[in-house]
Amino acid sequence: MTAALSLAEISKSYFGVPALTGISFDLEPGRLLGLVGQNGAGKSTLMNVLGGVVAADAGQMQLFGRPYAPRRPADAKANGIAFIHQELNLFGNLTIAENIFVADFPRRRGLVDWSSARSRAAKLLQMVGLAMPPDTLVELLSPGERQLVEVAKGLSVEPQLVIFDEPTTSLTARETTQLFALIRRLKSEGTTIVYISHNLGDVLALADDIAVLREGQLVAQGRATDFDIGKMIKLMIGRDIDALFPPRHSASPGAVLLQAQGVTRRGAVDNVSLSVRAGEIVGIFGLMGAGRTELARLIFGLDTMDSGQLALPDGVPRHRVTPQMAIAAGLAFVTEDRRQEGLLMNAPIADNLVLASLREFASGPGLVDDTASLAAAREMARRLSIEARDIAVQPAKTLSGGNQQRVVLGKWLMVDPRLIILDEPTRGIDIGARYAIYEMIDQLASAGRGLILISSEIEEVMAMSDRLLVMSEGEIVAEFQRSAWSRELILRAAFREAEAA
């Protein structure tokens, strides 16, 4: 039987650093390959080679028995390969149908054939299980719905090979179930699929075959039945960690660091009251758009409250908080979006690390003492085991996602905060690096810091929190103690019960 996709000795290096070394495998038609590996293991490079974004230095590819050497992304498309990327590539000001066909509309006499575009879009939407009119503006959709539009866009070219790159990161549980049903159906119709994910449980549930990449090499491949999660983790990391989360060391809660009373911002956060004590990790779980990030922004003073009050670690209740006050009172906010908000990507790592604490290195007339700040930055980089050649010159953008997140965290740890808000601290970070971040969170709590952990990964908040608040539509709909929660109870609360049924 001819393989749908066959790679032979594919190698690629960037500036002399090998990203892929001698990758060979065959994927039979109609099967699903689960591709796993840490960030930086070479998954993206491999997909870029396949998609014609970069050319391999050596090796051959075959697609359904024909030699395949794409030179640009359009070549991949023309050969029946569809990519469904993790990062959404949609235009909010256009409708669903327009987004699906934006590069190539069905046309009649030079004009867009709207009726054909609409009906084709409607068919694709039905296929991916999104019950929305094709004329809906994409900016009105939730992140999960947008992801499904992205899938519909990928399927619009009737591909023979579909590559899913982390398709579930912004999907709700129900949308994920729908997507998996679609993937299984595509497979049953003979489509070959490559599925890339950090969620090893999903991979195991979906895949026929599994391939594990580590440091640019294929370290294992075989039938999915020969793998379990522990084995995959070991293969990916190359050493023995078989748990996803470190053990939690619960400290006895100390002084109240944050007390929110009826905090409200119209349309975003509705009458939220909460408190956080020293040594406590308070998880905030909710679906996308539940108002978690908005709440964090209010606490940190980035947005203003319409009503309610907030007592920071200094204990004074205030109606109006500014970021300066929050920082002065010992708050730190590790934002969700590292690229846009958390890091100066082109600046050296050391500069990023000392950014929030520059004042402490100022001497005399306010000039920064470079030697002292660099020494402190090096100490922090060592403590967090940030993997870099030289933090004084290397720009932050050269780091992997996990290391970047450590830099953001390090920046805030250098001001020695009393209360740290972490917004999706492990998004897009691989298992090994996650584990290190979880350990760090645990240590911070043991050392008497208060933490707010915002996450849409239920396993993460359940493993790390002492207490858990569930948000939905801007309100806190449930609060659970560590001893009294269950996955089902939390999800029911997040979906407001009726929807979970």
Contacting positions for another protein (CB under 8 A): 73-74, 77, 89-94, 98, 102-105, 107, 110-112, 114, 123, 126-127, 129-132, 139-143, 145, 178, 181-182, 185, 266-268, 288-291, 293-294, 472-474
- Identity of the residue, 98 or 209, whose beta carbon is nearer to another protein in the bound complex: 98
Give the nearest distance from C-beta 143 to another protein in angstroms: 6
- Identity of the residue, 14 or 91, whose beta carbon is nearer to another protein in the bound complex: 91
- Identity of the residue, 89 or 398, whose beta carbon is nearer to another protein in the bound complex: 89
Spatial contact of 423 and 336, defined as CB atoms under 8 Å apart = yes
Instruction: State which H helix or E strand residue 269 sits in.
Output: strand 269-277
- Identity of the residue, 150 or 280, whose beta carbon is nearer to another protein in the bound complex: 150
- Identity of the residue, 253 or 428, whose beta carbon is nearer to another protein in the bound complex: 428
Q: Are strands 161-165 and 81-84 parallel, antiparallel or unpaired?
A: parallel
Distance, CA of 332 to CA of 412 (rounded, Å): 6
- Identity of the residue, 288 or 368, whose beta carbon is nearer to another protein in the bound complex: 288
What torsion, rounded to 10 degrees, do the Cα atoms 429, 431, 432, 433 define?
20
- Identity of the residue, 185 or 487, whose beta carbon is nearer to another protein in the bound complex: 185
Distance, CA of 229 to CA of 106 (rounded, Å): 45
Give the nearest distance from C-beta 207 to another protein in angstroms: 20
Residue whose pair of structure tokens reads 């290397």 in the numeric block: 394
Spatial contact of 397 and 382, defined as CB atoms under 8 Å apart = no
Q: Record the tokens describing residue 435, joined without a space.
A: 């584990």
Give the nearest distance from C-beta 127 to another protein in angstroms: 6
Give the nearest distance from C-beta 28 to another protein in angstroms: 24
Spatial contact of 156 and 101, defined as CB atoms under 8 Å apart = yes
Whole-angstrom CA distances from 256 to 314, 315, 418, 450 are 10, 8, 11, 9
Q: Record the tokens describing residue 49, joined without a space.
A: 């080679």
Spatial contact of 30 and 5, defined as CB atoms under 8 Å apart = no
Give the nearest distance from C-beta 355 to another protein in angstroms: 25
- Identity of the residue, 182 or 489, whose beta carbon is nearer to another protein in the bound complex: 182
**277 bridge partner residues:** 256
Residue whose pair of structure tokens reads 């391999």 in the numeric block: 56
Distance, CA of 352 to CA of 398 (rounded, Å): 13
Of residues 10, 157, 2, the one with CA closest to residue 69: 10
Give the nearest distance from C-beta 90 to another protein in angstroms: 7
Instruction: Please give the angle made by the CA atoms of 158, 160 and 166, to the nearest 5 degrees.
Output: 90
Q: Record the tokens describing residue 409, joined without a space.
A: 């965290």
Give the nearest distance from C-beta 265 to another protein in angstroms: 10
Give the 3-state secondary structure of residue 370: helix
Distance, CA of 431 to CA of 199 (rounded, Å): 9
- 174 residue type, one letter: R
Give the nearest distance from C-beta 105 to another protein in angstroms: 4
- Identity of the residue, 26 or 113, whose beta carbon is nearer to another protein in the bound complex: 113
- 35 residue type, one letter: L
Give the nearest distance from C-beta 148 to another protein in angstroms: 10
Give the nearest distance from C-beta 112 to another protein in angstroms: 6
- Identity of the residue, 126 or 481, whose beta carbon is nearer to another protein in the bound complex: 126
- Identity of the residue, 27 or 97, whose beta carbon is nearer to another protein in the bound complex: 97
Q: How many CB atoms lie within 10 A of CB 27?
A: 21
Distance, CA of 23 to CA of 217 (rounded, Å): 6
Of residues 163, 160, 212, the one with CA closest to residue 53: 163
Give the nearest distance from C-beta 104 to another protein in angstroms: 8
Give the nearest distance from C-beta 421 to another protein in angstroms: 17
Q: How far is CA 464 from the centre of its chain?
A: 18
Q: What are phi and psi of 387, to 5 degrees?
A: -90, 100
- Identity of the residue, 110 or 364, whose beta carbon is nearer to another protein in the bound complex: 110
